[in-house]
A and B are shown apart, each in its own frame.
Chain A
Amino acid sequence: MRYSAYSIFKEALSGNRMWKPAWREPQPKPHYDVIIVGGGGHGLATAYYLAKEFGITNVAVLEKGYLGSGNVGRNTTIIRSNYLLEGNNPFYEFSLKLWEGLERDFNYNAMVSQRGMLNLFHSDGQRDAYARRGNGMRIHGIDAELLDREQVRRKAPYLNFDHARFPIMGALYQKRAGTVRHDAVAWGYGRGADARGVDLIQHCEVTGIRRENGLVTGVETTKGFIGCNKLALAAAGNTTTVGRMADLELPIESHVLQAFVSEGLKPVVDHVITYGAGHFYISQSDKGGLVFGAEIDFYSSYAQRGNLATVEHTMEEGVSLIPGLSRAKVLRSWGGVMDMSMDGSPIIDRTPIDNLYLNCGWCYGGFKATPASGFCFAHLIAKNETHHVTRFMRLDRFERGYTIDEAGRGPQPNLH
């Protein structure tokens, strides 16, 4: 069924009895052309583009929980393409362009809202670094503007401009950045993939990868053995666990990142704002909740819950940036398991096993990448060729000395 204003009107008149579930709940077939492990944003987007752009529809997505139960529903919903390095920014810009047409493309309201993003700076040196980044973006045709203090004040008067230690001097502004309703991204991609024949199999955990003569022949799961011609991993924080089943050696550590939402408030934060003096980011959802987060907990973790010390640190940063935040109550907080890579950038590549494909290392920037990650991964799986914008995101780049270290922090995953 196609969603439209007309369909809402028609269903309302017939008592809303005709709505169908957005996707089927099929049992696994014995064999698929492609199996994707991981029914999160990236896995579902990959299935969607495989079917829609590359005509491969005999596909299964295996998800150990329910669709979108991992990081796609746990992030702070920000989309942007304000990266500096050539290995990153054409990819993220491709993603932002896909976001811009996404809702029409998959016929689902994902509430894409390009409300603009302010990356605040607080010193001369930081201004210069942001100017450089902005110029790097503009060279690649991405919108970027350097705002001074008064221009920022007009947009966000509630910020702590005269902070004694970290006064706000201005911001790098990307107007096309914004937020998206994250659950709807999983649902929209899932529904679109299902409509094109992809089987979305929930509560089906992969427990082993079967290989013969150096090639993958299928996966052992909690619903039995399922055969495939090609296997694609998009398992985020559990990448190592799944990769180990195929003896992959990976440059990944799993860490927990927390996120928070306040009680619903009247509209106050109109943009996405990041605090340059710390690592704090905030926006306001359409329901009114302030959605914010800061850094990971720094120690290795597979638990989807975090440490109170990080909660305290996040709140301190928030109140330092927006003093009025001290009057808001936190409604909920949660954690997600991040696949932190050794240079802070992702991997979309083949593996030493010819029919096994890898998509991982998203650190905590995976949400904004969802459309391009799905598109490029589908391109790689379908054509066995790397998509142009992911040509730097190779698994062997560490060995070759071509890391994509946006933050310049070296092989220290908890600092990216």
Chain B
Amino acid sequence: MASLITCPHCGTRPKEEFSIRGAAAPKRPSPTAKDEAWHVYVYVRDNPKGRYQEYWHHVAGCRRFLVVERDNLTHEVFGVTDAAEFERAGADE
């Protein structure tokens, strides 16, 4: 049930320590991007069933933003990365 989250900085912690920001997949457009690109970033969501990447904020721990990758049907957690690392990995692609 995604009740335990293994924070890369703090170890395995209960879900209640986190607050959830939302989908991690949308990529922020450049400040000069067209309105259409901003509309897609702000409002349109893929909302996939299954594997899902989501920003979780470890509010009652290290206060880092994390990306939790899990299955939103079975709630199996596949991995947790620091959001900065997630962004860097995305930039390398």
Please report A residues at the B interface, Cβ cutoff 8 Å. Answer: 240-241, 249-254, 298-303, 305-309, 342, 398-399, 411-414
Contacts and interface: CB of A to CB of B under 8 A. Distances in A.
A298 B2 contact: no
B22 A414 contact: yes
For B22, B43, B46, which residue has the most chain A Cβ atoms within 10 angstroms? B43
Contacts of B16: 309
A302 B20 contact: no
A401 to B, nearest CB: 10
Contact of A302 (B1, B21, B73): B73
B40 A249 contact: yes
Interface residues of B, number: 30
For A299, A302, A398, A399, which residue has the most chain B Cβ atoms within 10 angstroms? A299
Interface of B: 1-3, 14-16, 19-23, 35-36, 39-40, 42-49, 52, 54, 56, 72-75
Given A302-B72, A309-B15, A249 B44 contact: yes
Contact of B3 (A253, A302, A309): A309
Contact of B75 (A241, A303, A342, A413): A303
A307 B2 contact: yes
Contacts of A411: 42-43
Contact of B73 (A249, A303, A309): A303
A399 B35 CA distance: 8
9 contacts: A240-B45, A251-B43, A253-B23, A254-B49, A298-B20, A300-B72, A307-B3, A308-B3, A399-B35
A232 B47 CA distance: 20
Contacts of B21: 412
Contact of A299 (B14, B36, B54): B54
A240 B14 CA distance: 30
A73 B23 CA distance: 28
Contacts of A241: 49
B88 to A, nearest CB: 24
Contacts of B40: 249
B47 to A, nearest CB: 4
Contacts of B52: 300
Contact of B44 (A250, A298, A414): A250
A300 B43 contact: no
A300 B54 CA distance: 8
B80 to A, nearest CB: 13
A414 B52 CA distance: 15
Contacts of B72: 254, 299-303
B24 to A, nearest CB: 10
B55 to A, nearest CB: 10
B47 A254 contact: yes
